[in-house]
Amino acid sequence: MNERTGMILEFLFTLDKAKTILRKGYLGDGSRRESIAEHMWHLALWAMLLRDEIGFKADLLRTLELVLTHDLVEIYAGDTYAFDEAAVAGQKAREEEAAEALFSSLPCDLAGKFRGLWDEFEEARTLEARFAKALDHLQGFTQNCISKGKSWKENGISRERTFLRTDPPRETDPLFAEILDHLYDVADRENIWGDGQTRN
């Protein structure tokens, strides 16, 4: 086997760790936390199913590349809970260091490609990256809804605090706003917010 193939295989072996890195959010049945691998896989399906439903045409292959790479750095950096202000403050530095360590293990051309995809997603500088980032926020919110707010309750997250994550997708496309309105109605009706406040 040549050196290039060996480097790619080693990278793939490393990526297996994504199956063990857990996010704060739970699976829909609340039985355990979702892994970053499950999250990225789920996002790919969201992209496939919603790409033709939104009001703009994002390239599907590019969007899939973005969603399937955007959290790989968490293999080294760990997941950062969006509502943990202290962790968020150091997130960029941790993830930059992790990106360098992870992607530099690939052959130069692939290292550049993967780093470019990660940067594109982080900076939301293309139509596809904005679509992917909106889906990322939307999927996380949805997981909280279908798990009956388990993570929100554990962390005392109020309805109002979730706007931090739902305003970006709401502003991306009217369909996302419609989905979010439905999910907020469900969350209000089932009273799954973490602050214990009842809303009708």
Kindly report, residue by residue over 129-171, the tens digit of the pLDDT.
999 999 999 999 999 999 999 999 999 999 999 999 999 999 9
Kindly report, residue by residue over 98-137, the tens digit of the pLDDT.
999 999 999 999 999 999 999 999 999 999 999 999 999 9
pLDDT reported for residue 21: 97
**CA 180/CA 185 separation, integer angstroms:** 8
Average pLDDT over residues 160-186: 96
State the pTM of this model: 0.94
Residue 68 has pLDDT above 90, yes or no: yes
Domains of the chain: 3-190 (1.10.3210.10)
pLDDT reported for residue 200: 62
171 closest CA partner among 143, 121, 117, 133: 133
